[in-house]
Each structure stands twice: as C-alpha cells, then as structure tokens.
A and B are shown apart, each in its own frame.
Chain A
Amino acid sequence: DSGVTQTPKHLITATGQRVTLRCSPRSGDLSVYWYQQSLDQGLQFLIQYYNGEERAKGNILERFSAQQFPDLHSELNLSSLELGDSALYFCASSVGAAYNEQFFGPGTRLTVL
C-alpha cells in the first residue's frame, strides 16, 4: 500500500459524458501527478500540481482538466468523453516538486461505452 488513495476504483460511462476522478496523496506529500495508461499507448504523464499550483504539463487534452485543493487532494475532470479515453488513470504523489520518488495509487479504470 503506497498511501495514495484513488476513487472510484472503476467507472463505466457513455461517450459525451463527464467524470471526475479523485486522488488523495500520501500524508506530507505536496506534489500530485496524473497519468493515463491505455493498452496501446503505455503510461503517459498528464499533469502535475505542487502545493495547489500547476507545476508541469504533459499530454493532457483540452477536454481534461485538473486541480489541487487546499487540503492537497486532487481531482481530474474528463469531459466530452470518447471511446479512446478508456484507460487506467493513475495518480502519484511525492514530497517535493521534482526529483523525488513518486508513489502511485491503485488507479481508476475508466470504461467509455
């Protein structure tokens, strides 16, 4: 158990819908990272927040957005969902903003029908 929690564990929805994934980092960690992992793409970095501020941006689509709240939990919002958005979404946390070990949560499996 990494100490990072993600909810929900599974999510099934339809195309065009909007969903919110939630992540609680390890106690004391200030950075939260979001990743997408699909079968044909491997792991892809989406976005990082550090102490409430956006720190780094990866391959995040404009339909996706994220935020980190004052209590340091984070949410990833996915809208206008497409079939290709079906994937595992991982959240990770670390103590600092860079060059720190990242601890991954168990993931949320999103299925878009």
Chain B
Amino acid sequence: KNQVEQSPQSLIILEGKNCTLQCNYTVSPFSNLRWYKQDTGRGPVSLTIMTFSENTKSNGRYTATLDADTKQSSLHITASQLSDSASYICVVSRSNNDMRFGAGTRLTVKP
C-alpha cells in the first residue's frame, strides 16, 4: 500500500528516438504526481506536476500523462537527445503532503 513502482528499471535508446517511461502507484489519498529528471550526483529537476483533474502536461519534449482511475502515469520523451541521459523519478504525494518516491528509471541515450 502507498507504493510507487516504475518501469523499466533501465532503458537504452538511440539519439533521436522516442521513449515512454511508466509509473504505477497505489498511493491514497492522492494529491499530485510529479516527474523529476536527475543527472548523476546532482539534485533532481522538476519536469511536470499533475493533480487529480489533469491528464496530460507537457514541458518541451517531455509529456506526462495521468490516469487517476487506473493509477498510472507515463512520461513520454520525444526526439531524445544525449542530454536526456539521466534517472527519471516519479513522486506521488498523499493529501497530507507525504511524498512517495519511485526507484526511478535510468535512461541512457546513445549516439
């Protein structure tokens, strides 16, 4: 209960290709869901924040979707670049601001 699971654990793609990362959660009661990008050894950077009523949000080449009924979210990266190589972390907050973190997906973009 109150878990966040991300898949795949790691992913390797070629530069220019698209990819989709998954986040499934059982966190309840739900407040919001965030996607972060974290370069190795650096602090995470926020990509998107979505509440219950939002089902899609974009930030440049990053598009997050949320299905609150099935408790699933995805992060789609379009036309990947070498600089997209990083860990992508899904964070789901409960109504009391208690945050639950996924283990992250490690993305490697190769030339």
Contacts and interface: CB of A to CB of B under 8 A. Distances in A.
Chain A bound to chain B:
yes
Interface of A: 2, 4, 42-45, 48, 55-56, 58, 88, 90, 92, 97-99, 101-107
Contacts of A88: 41
Contacts of A43: 44, 89, 91, 101, 104
B99 A45 contact: yes
Interface string B39-78: 0011111100101000000000000000000000000000
B83 interface: no
Given A56-B96, A99-B32, A42 B46 contact: no
Interface of B: 31-32, 41-46, 49, 51, 89, 91, 93, 96-99, 101-104
A107 B44 CA distance: 10
B96 A104 contact: no
A42 B101 contact: yes
A42 B32 contact: no
27 contacts: A2-B45, A42-B102, A42-B103, A43-B89, A43-B104, A44-B101, A45-B98, A48-B97, A55-B97, A56-B96, A56-B98, A58-B98, A58-B99, A97-B97, A98-B31, A98-B93, A99-B32, A99-B49, A99-B51, A99-B93, A102-B46, A103-B46, A104-B43, A105-B43, A106-B42, A107-B41, A107-B43
Contact of A99 (B31, B43, B91, B98): B31
In the A-B complex, list the 4 residue pairs whose CB atoms are closest, starting with the nearest: A104-B43, A56-B97, A45-B99, A43-B101
B15 to A, nearest CB: 27
Nearest to B45: A104
Nearest to B103: A42
